[in-house]
Amino acid sequence: MKDLFTLDGRTALVTGGSRGIGRMIAAGFLAQGARVYISSRKADACENTARELSALGTCIPLPADVSTVEGARRLAAAYMAKEESLDILVNNAGAAWGESFDTFPEKGWNKVVDLNLKSPFFLTQALHEPLRKAAQARPAKVINIASIDGVSINPAETYSYAASKAGLIHLIKRLSLRLVKDNIVVSGIAPGAFASDMNRAARDHGDEVAERIPAGRIGTVEDMAGVAIYLASRAGDYVVGETIVVDGGVSLVRG
């Protein structure tokens, strides 16, 4: 039992790992002994974060734009040039777009759906072989970061974001049934209010946002790292196709 949550000797790749939820997860994995690769579109941010997180363990930057299939494949190739196997893939890179129904543009749809829904599928596909190699010893993990906006209705007009996250939650279920045959366990996390550049309300007005949360606070680094470590470790080996809501109770009451 003392080793139930350890990640010693494991390798992980976290997309969108330079900030926000991705950084929280990367920090948690490092603290539990994993060697962590982080990716983000902006090379400077990716390298700076990797340098800072290296105080916790081995953190390696792999800058990449995974919003296209070609970009996802380039990231997979860059990772495989350094490692033969991959124990944990976290598909976290994401985007949002808010605009009224009457003017909501196609570019706001394509940008968000491509990154939030298409990218996790094709990056997982591109990294299937190193995941399978890792799974020969023990289950490999694919953890997809969804959102409570894919579970319950946010009154904000973020049409493509909500649709992409709901679609991702269903994709997690379908993909899990295929990949569990290869001893690759697919699961998801649906965060609520965590301080990040994407959720600026929680970042800049945390106390005000907390008033609408049953738990009375926004999420912390430990809240996000804890559930990610659970799913990535031996403790989560039997959690197949499920998405864990981590929101302090918001999705139970809103709408």
Contact 224, 25 (CB under 8 A): yes
116 Cβ contact partners less than 8 Å away, ≥ 6 residues apart: 94, 95, 161, 164, 165, 168
Burial class (CB in 10 A: 0-12, 13-18, 19+), 102: exposed
161 tagged catalytic: yes
> The tokens of 117 are what?
């829904």
Please choose, from the candidates 157, 138, 133, 127, the residue with its C-alpha nearest in 3D space to the C-alpha of residue 13.
127
What's the burial of 247, exposed, middle or buried (CB within 10 Å: 0-12/13-18/19+)?
Answer: buried
Which one from 37, 79, 161, 230 is the annotated catalytic residue?
161
Q: Which two tokens stand for residue 158?
A: 């973020």
Sheet-wide strand order for 184-191: 59-61, 35-39, 11-15, 88-91, 140-145, 184-191, 243-246
- Are 20 and 194 in contact by the 8 Å Cβ rule? The answer is yes
Angle at 225 between CA 220 and CA 227, to 5 degrees: 105
User: Which tokens go with 149?
Assistant: 């906006």
* CB distance 34 to 88 below 8 Å: yes
Active site positions, annotated:
161
